[in-house]
């Protein structure tokens, strides 16, 4: 499960991991062990004035879910977290959300649920 982070200062990969773990702990009170992070690296930035986006691959889905639930706490420090998904899956989710028959659309497997139709009783 990947998380894309915007606003983390540019650093080497080993330092990025430490910075990520410490930042998450400090701002969200979530403990992440080094072993839970499979990989972390920065991507090229579109703007030379901003830090490079960072991709973190987390081993445990529950840890990722806990972080994403508390991502609003990171906004005050100018850090933005987003699910890292393919353009195809993002497009699929956007189209599903526009469909009036879809109640929820989730990221784990691009899973969508249909709205239950209201049952009408004839009087």
Q: 3-state DSSP call for residue 115?
A: coil
| Residue recorded with tokens 């062990």 | 33
* 62 plus 23 within the same structural domain: yes
What does the pLDDT profile of the chain (123 residues) look like in tens digits? 788 888 888 877 678 999 999 998 998 899 999 999 999 988 887 888 888 889 999 998 888 888 888 888 888 888 888 877 777 777 777 777 787 776 666 665 445 555 555 444 444
Same domain, 13 and 65: yes
What token pair was written down for 32?
């992440």
In whole angstroms, what separates CA 44 from the centre of its chain? 19
Structural domain count of the chain: 2
- What pLDDT is attached to residue 122? 42
3-class secondary-structure state, position 91: helix
Q: Are residues 89 and 70 in the same domain?
A: no
On whether both 55 and 74 belong to a single domain, the answer is: yes
Q: Are residues 14 and 33 in the same domain?
A: yes
Could you tell me if 75 and 5 are in contact, meaning their C-beta atoms sit under 8 angstroms apart?
Answer: no
Q: Which among 117, 34, 23, 36 has a CA at the least distance from the CA of 75? A: 23
Domain that holds residue 71: 2-83
Q: Give the separation between CA 122 and CA 13, rounded to whole angstroms.
A: 65
Provide the whole-model pTM: 0.68
Q: What is the pLDDT of residue 110?
A: 45
């Amino acid at each position: 499960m990947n998380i894309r982070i915007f606003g983390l200062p540019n650093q080497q990969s080993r330092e990025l991991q430490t910075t990520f773990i410490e930042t998450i702990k400090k701002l969200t009170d979530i403990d992440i062990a080094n072993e839970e992070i499979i990989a972390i690296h920065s991507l090229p930035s579109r703007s030379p004035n901003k830090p490079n986006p960072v991709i973190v691959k987390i081993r445990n889905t529950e840890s990722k879910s806990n972080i994403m639930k508390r991502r609003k706490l990171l906004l005050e420090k100018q850090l933005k977290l987003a699910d890292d998904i393919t353009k195809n899956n993002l497009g699929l989710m956007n189209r599903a959300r526009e469909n009036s028959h879809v109640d929820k659309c989730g990221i784990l497997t691009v899973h969508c649920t249909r709205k239950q139709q209201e049952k009408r009783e004839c009087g």
